[in-house]
Structure 1
Amino acid sequence: MYPTFLITLIFYQTFTNAEWNTKDYLKKEHSLLKPYHGTRMTIPHWDFLGSTIVSNNYIRLTSDDQSKIGAIWNTVPCSTRHWELQVQFKVHGKGKDLFGDGLAIWYTRDRMIPGPVFGSADYFYGLAVLIDTYSNHNGEHKHQHPYISAMVNNGTLHYDHDRDGTHTQIAGCEAKLRNFDHDTHIVVRYEYDTLTVLTDLENKRAWSQCFSVSGIRLPTGYYFGISAATGDLSDNHDVIGVHFYELDSDVKDTEDRSKILPSAVSFEPMREHIDDPKSSWSGMKTFFIMMICSIIIVSVIIVGIMLYQKHKEKSRKRFY
């Protein structure tokens, strides 16, 4: 009797605990899992933008071609205050030393708007986690590329692409993530007003912290998206899967977060915006252009003088 009663009690406690722990679970309406159910370019709860194509094994935001943008956007607003987004992706291409531009993970008020920030809009409302693969060596920063950074925007900040966004980032880390034979993973976790970004780039099935920043206030009701872009340089930017988890919280949330503005308590120290020095070729080019213009002007003057003198000589001959 006692063993049966004990087993029943354990089963009841296990079932009860499972029922109470209802927040920490996968939410399919914000997730994107293989096999991608849908027909051709339609997948439930997701929209596509730009050059995005869907295959059986991945969703390619951009191919390894110049001047492409692509994006996927979740159609369901997020009502969860504490959440974790895991993105399985792959960046690869023919370039060995030169490649770009990169991709971004978004949690924003507006969706499906193409733009200059890795394929999405500038002056956005919300959060962007930016994976910049192209270094143009502009501005004063010491990090290498690829580089992961985060930006919180209330619609007033401009992402300075020429300076790798170092003027508005809240934190960042270097991340060698290109041309692996395996998939790479990134986690964006938002819990108790703390933003944490972790990666698994070496297929070790263990997370490595990129950065963690407190004092981040994000509204509920925004949308998740992933976008990518290429410019003069290019890469394949592939999304393999997205897993969204609603995190269990020990604190009861009473604040209405639906109408607050995104904000961050602090940013990294602002860097002076320094214009790029003009290259020696630029000076030489100006010199040659001016020299050619001068030769043309002098030639026109000489030809004009010769024609005038010839006309004058003909006029004199008429009087003799």
Structure 2
Amino acid sequence: MMMLNMGLLRSALVISFFSTIYTREWNTHEYMIREHSLVKPYQGLGTSIPYWDFLGSTMVTNNYIRLTADAQSLRGAIWNKAPCYLRNWEMQIHFKVHGRGKDLFGDGFVFWYVKEPMQEGDVFGSKDFFTGLAVVMDTYSNHNGPHNHGHPYISAMVNNGTLHYDHDRDGTHTQLSSGCVSKFRNLDHDTYISIQYVHDTLTVAGVKLPLGYFLGVSAATGDLTDGHDIISLKMYDLSTPDDDILEDRINIMPSASFFEPPRDHVEDPKPSSLTTWKKVVLLVFGVITICGCVFIGGLFYTKQKEQQRKRFY
């Protein structure tokens, strides 16, 4: 197996990106929680899948669950019906992002652990001002503004319900520490992301998440497009007998001790509202106006010369 660690977020949330030439489990020593996992074969009775709900453009096939096709203005999501009460966990997502676009593509997908599941919205197909955790795989390549990173871009956000995800700025105003660039799009081999939440703390900062929230994945396309496929979701329980189980984790608010330094939101210059046809008309009108002025000026000049000649006779 070839494993490429594409960076860590400086928080208790450890995000690793893997690509592998062939499919193989990389976590076999922990216990996979069936009610929080989604693996082939997907179908249960009829078109339903046990423990999971669907929204929007989501389509289930034998080999993958397609959140969006490579088409404009789509939103799709899958949501786990069972609230998650694991204190420490790891989610492994096997996915594929693919599309025809070479330089322009988007928008991306998000792994969610939130209080309010099954709500469609503007944050990659799901609700803004959410309560909980979002891990964002942003592929939108046509950005302006002060971003010092490329795309696709992986970042995380913890929200207590009061923060807005600023899609025009990749969420950099509210992200946890620094994200990382990860070239996971249009690869010929399998792609995975591993999201680990263990003991609240990793070196620099901490993230505290309540128990009993819901897991999900959503994706969206806009004017730019990509196909977003989920092949599997595998949840592992990383809890140990030594974990503190006495602390009330049901009613706490999601929080994090380290965010990116805040920046002012500066609006991008508004593009011209003129269509190409209108621009052509204005250009033609401008040329005609200039030619008319030159013609009138020529007539005036000729008349002045004739009057000067008459004075000499």
Q: TM-score, normalised by structure 1?
A: 0.74
2:96 pairs, out of 90, 104, 117, with: 90
1:260 pairs, out of 237, 242, 252, with: 252
User: Which structure 2 segments of 5+ residues have no match?
Assistant: 1-28, 286-313
Say which SS state the counterpart of residue 153 (structure 1) adopts: strand
Name the counterpart of 2:221. Answer: 230
2:126 pairs, out of 116, 120, 124, with: 120
Name the counterpart of 1:194. Answer: 201
Say which SS state the counterpart of residue 192 (structure 1) adopts: coil
1:215 CA drift (Å)? 1.2
Say which SS state the counterpart of residue 215 (structure 1) adopts: strand
Work out the number of aligned pairs and report it. Answer: 255
Q: 1:120-269 to 2 correspondence within 5 Å?
A: 120-170=126-176, 171-194=178-201, 214-249=205-240, 250-269=242-261
**Offset from partner CA, 1:251-292 (integer Å, 9 cap, x none):** 33210100000011120111221221355887x989x87x98
1:108 pairs, out of 107, 110, 114, with: 114
Distance 1:190 1:27 in 2: 15
1:135 CA drift (Å)? 2.7
User: Which structure 1 segments of 5+ residues have no match?
Assistant: 1-22, 196-211, 293-320
Equivalent position amino acid for 2:226 in 1? D
Q: Is the 8 A contact 2:104 2:142 kept in 1?
A: no
1:275 pairs, out of 264, 267, 282, with: 267
Larger helix fraction of residues: 1
Say which SS state the counterpart of residue 29 (structure 1) adopts: helix
Structure number with larger C-alpha Rg: 1
1:40 CA drift (Å)? 4.6
1:163 CA drift (Å)? 1.1
Q: Is the 8 A contact 2:210 2:250 kept in 1?
A: yes
Name the counterpart of 1:201. Answer: none
What RMSD, in angstroms, separates the aligned Cα atoms of the two structures?
2.6
Name the counterpart of 1:28. Answer: 34
Say which SS state the counterpart of residue 115 (structure 1) adopts: strand
Assess, with a 3 A threshold, how the Cα gap between structure 1 residues 106 and 280 changes in structure 2: closer, same or farther.
closer
Equivalent position amino acid for 1:267 in 2? F
1:123 CA drift (Å)? 0.1
**Offset from partner CA, 1:208-251 (integer Å, 9 cap, x none):** xxxx8631010000000000000001111000001101103333
Name the counterpart of 2:306. Answer: none
**Offset from partner CA, 1:276-311 (integer Å, 9 cap, x none):** 1355887x989x87x98xxxxxxxxxxxxxxxxxxx
Name the counterpart of 1:202. Answer: none
**After the TM superposition, which segments of 4 or more aligned residues of structure 1 sit over 4 Å from their partners?**
278-282
Distance 1:251 1:220 in 2: 14
> Which of 1 and 2 has higher RCO (CA within 8 Å, sep 6+)?
2
Say which SS state the counterpart of residue 67 (structure 2) adopts: strand
1:70 pairs, out of 68, 76, 88, with: 76
Q: Is the 8 A contact 2:91 2:233 kept in 1?
A: yes
